[in-house]
Amino acid sequence: MPLLYNIGIQIMYLIILIRSFFSKKEREWLLVRKGWVKNLKSEIKNQNNIVWFHCASAGEFEQAIPLIKAYREKSPQHKILLTFFSISGFKMMETKKIDVDWTFNLPLDTESNAKLFLEITKPIKVFFIKYEFWFNYMKEIKERNIPIYFVSSLFRPNQLFFKNKWWGNQLKNVDHFFVQNQHSRELLLNLNINRVTVSGDTRFDRVYFRKKEERDLDKPIWLNNFLRKKQTIIAGSTWKKDEDILFEFIKSHSNFNFIIVPHDPERSLSVSKRFNAMLYSNEKRKEDRLSFQRNNMLVIDRLGLLFSLYKYASIAYIGGGFDKGIHNILEPACFGKPIIFGPNYKKFKEAYDLIELKGAESILDFSQLRDSIYRFQKFENKLTKDYMSNKCGATEKIIKEIVN
């Protein structure tokens, strides 16, 4: 089985290599890892007391932020190394004011890479966020007697860990799991893994503290001009299938304002042309206040604005539900906004919870979208905010366990 796993890693690399001829994202993935040994050695030289945090992408990074901040506060003598698997996570890091000592892209999970990476960095603790199970790294970490923790993990019975003995045994290399719910804990207990704490999800802490940071910020003048006291639908992290359904509603409802934030910022120009909408960067560059007053459609092509915008939404639409899965619904929820999304939300318990609280609805087509928007026009649901505040506290539970 280890042989098959390592063959799988090489096949994954080959696929990335082939796709790099056609995809900018894959080319960047390869480029940022070029010469990683030299770069790592030059940056991390004669250092000690390094604590390593690893995230797959932007979403996991959001989960890691409150933990990194709390760890830094409790153990300022330690150095923090942050790594990402995806380019999007690394790019998001550049927009955040997070105090870490080094940021790198994690080399591919081969036996040789894992040995070399750990030989250079020599971490004293390792934190993997949620789903990042790289078995060669985990094995090497365990062999070096370095404590490894998994944070905000979520397990389901259909995962290979609970169907294949070798996969399940890999989880025994972990010193402690901090899981999101009791069901995940019970699945691990069935594998005779007892070092498990139900801590909850650090994403709730992240959005709660971000909301507090937003509280004292003034509304931007351009946004005030755009909103004009009209009900505003903000569609965040949209994919093409989301936009297809939204387009039907938008073209027949000029009484609303619409702000669309595509999941891929590089699609923003084409989306703005399709919807005959203003493009944020163009209008800001012109500083034309009247253009924001004359239009009711705006496409955002800049990272880092979406969370702040949700504060001013009447209704939030979250993209991804017609593709790989919905994006972050906690962000609009923390502002008490009603939320609409597509049918693919099965991996997100908060989606089920908010639907049950009548603070969210899942839709399949244009007619359901229209009906949901009409129902949510007079939405007043304090339960959504209460739900968010009651879910906070995961970071504190984790820190109490791991900081000596």
Q: Which residue has the tokens 């800049």?
A: 302
Each of the 404 residues of the chain gets a pLDDT tens digit; together they read 889 999 999 999 999 999 989 888 899 999 989 999 999 999 998 889 999 999 998 889 989 999 999 999 999 999 999 999 988 787 777 777 789 999 999 999 999 999 999 999 999 999 999 988 999 999 999 999 999 999 999 999 999 999 999 999 999 999 999 999 999 999 999 999 999 999 999 999 999 988 887 765 567 777 877 887 789 999 999 999 999 999 999 988 988 999 999 998 889 999 999 988 888 876 665 555 556 666 789 999 887 789 999 999 999 999 999 999 999 999 999 999 999 999 999 989 899 999 999 999 999 999 999 999 999 988 877 788 889 989 999 999 999 999 86
Whole-model pTM: value is 0.84
Assess contact for 141 and 126: CB atoms under 8 A: yes
- Beta pairing partners, 151: 129, 178
Q: Which residue has the tokens 């927009």?
A: 95
Give, for 83, the enclosing helix (H) or strand (E): strand 79-84
Give residue 1's pLDDT.
Answer: 80
Assess contact for 318 and 326: CB atoms under 8 A: yes
For residue 328 the two structure tokens come to: 């972050």
For residue 404 the two structure tokens come to: 């000596």
For residue 287 the two structure tokens come to: 């500083």
The Cα–Cα gap between 403 and 74 comes to 7
Give residue 236's pLDDT.
Answer: 96
Q: Which residue has the tokens 């229209």?
A: 370
Give residue 265's pLDDT.
Answer: 87
For residue 126 the two structure tokens come to: 């390792």
CA distances from 253 to 231, 309, 366 (A): 11, 21, 13
Please count the CA atoms within 13 angstroms of the CA of 310 that sit on its side-chain side. Answer: 25
For 309, counting Cβ atoms within 10 Å of its Cβ (0-12 exposed, 13-18 middle, 19+ buried), the class is buried
What's the start-to-end Cα distance of the chain, in Å? 37
For residue 24 the two structure tokens come to: 């900018």
Query: Which residues are within 8 A (CB) of 356 and not within 5 positions of it... i.e. 6 or more apart?
Result: none
Query: Which residues are within 8 A (CB) of 154 and not within 5 positions of it... i.e. 6 or more apart?
Result: 130, 131, 179, 180, 181, 184, 347
The full set of domains in the chain, from first to last, is: 2-210+393-402 (3.40.50.11720), 211-389 (3.40.50.2000)
Assess contact for 71 and 205: CB atoms under 8 A: no
Assess contact for 205 and 63: CB atoms under 8 A: no
Q: Which of 290, 228, 286 is nearest to 259 (CA)?
A: 228
For residue 338 the two structure tokens come to: 């009603």
The Cα–Cα gap between 251 and 296 comes to 11
Give residue 279's pLDDT.
Answer: 84
